[in-house]
Amino acid sequence: MRKGYFISALMALILAFSVGCAKNSDVKQEEDKKVNLITEEELGYRTTTLYDEKLAQTPGNVYHTEIAGTSKRIERAFDNAPPMIPHSTEGLLPITKDNNMCTGCHMPEMAKAMGAVPIPKSHFVNLRTNQELDTLYQGRFNCSQCHTPQAKTDPIVENKFEGAFRTKEGRFSSNLMDNINEGVSAD
């Protein structure tokens, strides 16, 4: 008799619990409807579906139009960061195997006459083997892989990153080869 009573009490408890769970999931669905769910098509700041790259554009971005020789250099993002291209790249990109206009002005032997910043020592070293080269290291050939033009934008999310610099000069010049081994122990 006592045992029977115990079992029915247990059953009642299980039943009450499962009803409670079902009720909770109903409540959750109701709440989800109320919070105005964002669909995958609406997700992100690009205001177009995530499933089509062709439609994804950055409308309104204005790039520098000053031709090389008339632009103002841009402060580096942090010590030894690749500098942004301050001048127009119209007609200079894309870089191809047979045509790299950038080197025409930036190779050290040309740069002075062109008033351009010479390509630094780091680009003439194979850093994997530490071998110094007479020519540009091929891994540096595609300049726009690392150096890009800067657009004048009104960002949706403000970037509060503040780069650190070892010296005042570091804001406009680099010295990577002098300190690339900093903190590296020979042992």
**x/- site string to ligand HEC, residues 79 to 118, per CB under 6 A?**
-x-xx-xxx-x--xx-------xxxxxx-------xxxx-
* CB-CB neighbours of 80 under 10 Å: 21
Q: Which is nearer to ligand HEC, 33 or 112 (CB)?
A: 112
Q: 114: closest CA among 68, 64, 147?
A: 68
Q: How far apart are CA 179 and CA 140, in angstroms?
A: 19
Q: Which is nearer to ligand HEC, 18 or 70 (CB)?
A: 70
Number of residues that bind ligand HEC (CB under 6 A): 40
Q: Which is nearer to ligand HEC, 48 or 103 (CB)?
A: 103
Q: How far apart are CA 104 and CA 119, in angstroms?
A: 11
Contact present, 64 and 88 (Cβ < 8 Å): yes
Residues that bind ligand HEC (CB under 6 A): 68-71, 73, 80, 82-83, 85-87, 89, 92-93, 101-106, 114-117, 119-120, 122-123, 136, 140-147, 173-174, 176
